[in-house]
Structure 1
Amino acid sequence: MKSNERILILTASYGDGHIQAARSLKHSFERRGILQVQIMDLMKEAHPLLDKVTKTLYINSMLISQYGLDYYGWSYYFTKDAEFHVGWGRYLNNLGQNKLRQTIQQMRPCAVISTFPFGAVPELCRQLGIPTFAVVTDFTLHARWKHPDIDKYYVAAYELKEQLMASSISSDRIEVSGIPIRKAFYESGRMDSSPFSSLTNNHRKTILILAGSYGVLRSNDEIIDVVKNVTDSQVAVVCGRNRKLEHKLRLKYEGEPNVHIYGFVDNIHQLMMISSCIITKAGGLTLSEVLCLQVPIFIYKPFAGQEKENAAFFSKKSAAYVSRNMKEMAFQIERFFSDPHYAVEMKRQMQLLHKEAADDFITQDILSSIKQPQMVLQ
Structure 2
Amino acid sequence: MTEKLRILIITAPYGNGHFAVANGLIDEFKKYDNIEYSLYDLYTEDYPATTKFVKKFYFSTYKKGLQQQAYRFFYYGSDKLLDLKIAKPYLRFGIKKLVKKIEETKPHIILNTFPVNCTYNLIDEGINIPVYTVITDYFANSNWISKHTRLHFLAVNSVSMQLKQRGIKDHQYSVTGIPIKPIFYKEYSDEEIRNLKKKFNIDENKKVILLVAGAHGVVPNVNKIVNDITSEDNVQLIVVCGKNLRLYYRLNRRFFKHKNLVLFQFVDNMHELMRISDLMITKPGGITMTEAANIGIPVILYRPVYGQELENAIFFSSKRAATIALQEDELIYKALTILNDDELLNDMKNNIKKIAIKNSALLIIDRLIKDYQLFLEEENDN
Regarding TM over 0.5, the answer is: yes
Please state if 1:205 is matched with 2:211: no
Secondary structure class of the residue paired with 1:70:
helix
Give how far 1:196 is off.
6.4
Instruction: Return the alpha-carbon distance in structure 1 between the equivalents of residues 108 and 45 of structure 2.
Output: 21
TM-score, normalising length from structure 1? 0.92
Are the equivalent residues in 1 in contact too, given 2:42–2:98 (CA < 8 A)? yes
Opposite residue 8 of structure 2, the aligned amino acid is: L
Higher RCO, 1 or 2 (CA under 8 Å, sep at least 6)? 1
1:51 is matched with which residue? 51
Give how far 1:70 is off.
2.0
Deviations, residues 128-149 of structure 1 (Å, cap 9, x unaligned): 1111101100111111112111
Match of 2:118 among 120, 133, 141: 120
Instruction: Return the alpha-carbon distance in structure 2 between the equivalents of residues 289 and 177 of structure 1.
Output: 14
1:249 is matched with which residue? 251
Closer/same/farther in 2, CA of residues 338 and 16 from structure 1, 3 Å limit = same
Deviations, residues 200-231 of structure 1 (Å, cap 9, x unaligned): 35543221001135464443222212322334
Give how far 1:337 is off.
1.7
Opposite residue 39 of structure 2, the aligned amino acid is: I
Give how far 1:355 is off.
1.1
Instruction: Return the alpha-carbon distance in structure 2 between the equivalents of residues 89 and 161 of structure 1.
Output: 24
CA RMSD between the two structures? 2.3
1:6-45 correspondence to structure 2 within 5 Å: 6-45=6-45
1:317-332 correspondence to structure 2 within 5 Å: 317-332=319-334
2:104 is matched with which residue? 106
Give how far 1:366 is off.
0.3
Closer/same/farther in 2, CA of residues 259 and 101 from structure 1, 3 Å limit = same
Are the equivalent residues in 1 in contact too, given 2:28–2:362 (CA < 8 A)? yes
Instruction: Return the alpha-carbon distance in structure 2 between the equivalents of residues 194 and 313 of structure 1.
Output: 31
Opposite residue 173 of structure 2, the aligned amino acid is: I
1:232 is matched with which residue? 234
Are the equivalent residues in 2 in contact too, given 1:125–1:132 (CA < 8 A)? no
Deviations, residues 261-292 of structure 1 (Å, cap 9, x unaligned): 11111111111111111000011110000000
Q: Which moved more, 1:339-348 or 1:220-229?
A: 220-229
2:306 is matched with which residue? 304
Instruction: Return the alpha-carbon distance in structure 1 between the equivalents of residues 38 and 314 of structure 2.
Output: 34
Closer/same/farther in 2, CA of residues 40 and 371 from structure 1, 3 Å limit = same
Instruction: Return the alpha-carbon distance in structure 1 between the equivalents of residues 86 and 228 of structure 2.
Output: 44
Are the equivalent residues in 2 in contact too, given 1:235–1:259 (CA < 8 A)? yes
Closer/same/farther in 2, CA of residues 354 and 162 from structure 1, 3 Å limit = same
Deviations, residues 145-176 of structure 1 (Å, cap 9, x unaligned): 12111111011111111221232111011111
Closer/same/farther in 2, CA of residues 14 and 216 from structure 1, 3 Å limit = farther
Are the equivalent residues in 2 in contact too, given 1:45–1:99 (CA < 8 A)? no
Secondary structure class of the residue paired with 2:36:
strand
Secondary structure class of the residue paired with 1:79:
helix
Opposite residue 337 of structure 2, the aligned amino acid is: R
Instruction: Return the alpha-carbon distance in structure 1 between the equivalents of residues 86 and 27 of structure 2.
Output: 35
TM-score, normalising length from structure 2? 0.91
Closer/same/farther in 2, CA of residues 265 and 22 from structure 1, 3 Å limit = same
Instruction: Return the alpha-carbon distance in structure 2 between the equivalents of residues 218 and 336 of structure 1.
Output: 22
**Consecutive unaligned residues in structure 2, runs of 5 or more:** none
Closer/same/farther in 2, CA of residues 87 and 271 from structure 1, 3 Å limit = farther
Are the equivalent residues in 1 in contact too, given 2:207–2:339 (CA < 8 A)? no
Instruction: Return the alpha-carbon distance in structure 1 between the equivalents of residues 67 and 98 of structure 2.
Output: 34
Are the equivalent residues in 2 in contact too, given 1:281–1:307 (CA < 8 A)? yes
1:332-347 correspondence to structure 2 within 5 Å: 332-347=334-349
Give how far 1:325 is off.
1.9
Aligned length in residues: 375
Instruction: Return the alpha-carbon distance in structure 2 between the equivalents of residues 233 and 376 of structure 1.
Output: 61
Instruction: Return the alpha-carbon distance in structure 1 between the equivalents of residues 76 and 100 of structure 2.
Output: 33
Give how far 1:244 is off.
2.1
Instruction: Return the alpha-carbon distance in structure 2 between the equivalents of residues 141 and 272 of structure 1.
Output: 27
Deviations, residues 97-119 of structure 1 (Å, cap 9, x unaligned): 12211111111111111111111
Opposite residue 87 of structure 2, the aligned amino acid is: G
State the percentage of identical aligned residues: 27
Opposite residue 29 of structure 1, the aligned amino acid is: F
Instruction: Return the alpha-carbon distance in structure 1 between the equivalents of residues 90 and 252 of structure 2.
Output: 43
Instruction: Return the alpha-carbon distance in structure 2 between the equivalents of residues 183 and 375 of structure 1.
Output: 34
Closer/same/farther in 2, CA of residues 226 and 81 from structure 1, 3 Å limit = farther
1:289 is matched with which residue? 291
2:373 is matched with which residue? 371
